[in-house]
Amino acid sequence: MIYSLAQVLVAVSVLFVWVFRQANITKEFQSFGLGDLTRSMVGAFKIALATLLLVGLWFPVLIFASSVLMGLMMVAAQFFHARAGSPWVRRLPSLVLLGLCVLLACR
């Protein structure tokens, strides 16, 4: 049950941010010095991984790879936040999602 909740939480959080908070994402990527193409590719990849995590509720074989790859995306987010000098409050969401991805990958 806890693993299913973690899957849904990671997937819905990522989908919400990348679909409904696009303006914030655009500002963040600009502050990181990353271009529109990179932002679009990262967004497409994260949305695909979030979708795989949700599908993993019915096909558990998808959980490991999608959670590891999503976790790597969260590690990259931590790197770019640190490089940009973002305060911890801006780093916290990706850090929490990273922890949930580790939980899912280690199940």
User: What is the DSSP annotation of 36-83?
Assistant: HHHHHHHHHHHHHHHHHHHHTTT-GGGHHHHHHHHHHHHHHHHHHHHH
Question: What is the mean pLDDT of each successive set of 10 residues along the chain, which is 107 residues long?
Answer: 96 96 93 95 98 98 98 97 94 97 96
What is the domain extent for residue 86? 2-105
Output the pLDDT for position 5.
97
Output the pLDDT for position 105.
98
1: tokens are 């049950």
Output the pLDDT for position 63.
98
Name residue, tokens 């931590």: 78
Identify whether the C-beta of residue 64 lies closer than 8 Å to the C-beta of residue 101: no
d(CA 35, CA 26): 9
pLDDT per position as a tens digit, 43-71: 999 999 999 999 999 999 999 999 999 99
Identify whether the C-beta of residue 84 lies closer than 8 Å to the C-beta of residue 31: yes
Identify whether the C-beta of residue 66 lies closer than 8 Å to the C-beta of residue 53: yes
- The total of structural domains in the chain comes to 1
Output the pLDDT for position 7.
98
Output the pLDDT for position 10.
98
